[in-house]
Amino acid sequence: MTSPGLIYVASIVGPLLLGSALLASLRMISTDSDPDRKDILQSVLRLVGWVLIVVGCANCFVGLLGFFVLIWLILLGAVLLMAAGQRRNAEQYALLGLLAAAVERSMSLVDVIEAFSRECHWLMRRRTHRLAALLASGVSLGDALAAVPRALPAQSRPLIGAAAAVGALAPGLRQAAATGDNLDALWNLLMPEILYLWILPCYALGIVSFLMLKIVPQFSKIFADFGTTLPGLTQGVIDVSQWFERWWFIFQPAAFVLTLLCCYVAGRYMRLFHWNLPGTAWLVRRLDTATILDTLALVARQQRPLVLGLQNLAWFYPKRTIRRKLDRVLADVHAGSDWCDSLYRRGLIGQAERTVLQAAVRVNNLPWAMEEMAQSSRRRFSYRVQALTQMLFPPIIVAFGVAVMLVVVAFFIPLIALIQSLT
What phi and psi, each to the nearest 5 degrees, are found at residue 278?
Answer: -60, 135
Q: What is the 3-state secondary structure (H, E, C) of 38-69?
A: CCHHHHHHHHHHHHHHHHHHHHHHHHHHCHHH
On whether the pTM is more than 0.85, the answer is no
pLDDT of the residue at 40: 61
Q: Nearest to residue 42, comparing CAs of 140, 121, 122, 135?
A: 122
What CA dihedral angle connects 117, 123, 128 and 129, to 10 degrees?
90
Under 8 Å between Cβ of 258 and 198: yes
Task: State which amino acid sits at residue 293.
Answer: L
* pLDDT of res. 325: 93
Q: Return the pLDDT at 1.
A: 45
User: Cα(39)–Cα(42) distance, rounded to whole angstroms?
Assistant: 6
pLDDT at 140: 79
| pLDDT score of 343 | 93
pLDDT score, position 30: 58
Quick one: which of 368, 316, 324 has its CA closest to 151? 316
Q: Give the pLDDT confidence score for residue 36 in this predicted structure.
A: 43
Residue 235 buriedness (CB in 10 A; 0-12 / 13-18 / 19+): middle
pLDDT at res. 341: 92
Q: Where are the domains of the chain?
A: 1-65, 92-152
* pLDDT score at 330: 93
pLDDT of residue 33: 43
- C-alpha distance across the termini of the chain, in Å: 51
82, 270 in Cβ contact below 8 A? Answer: yes
Buried b (16+ CB within 10 A) or exposed e, 248-285: eeeeeeeeeeeeeebebbbebbbbeeeebeeeeeeebb
Binned average pLDDT, 10 residues per bin, the chain of 423 residues: 61 76 75 47 73 73 56 67 75 85 85 85 82 86 78 82 84 79 62 73 74 76 75 80 76 72 70 68 80 91 90 86 92 92 91 91 91 88 81 84 83 77 68
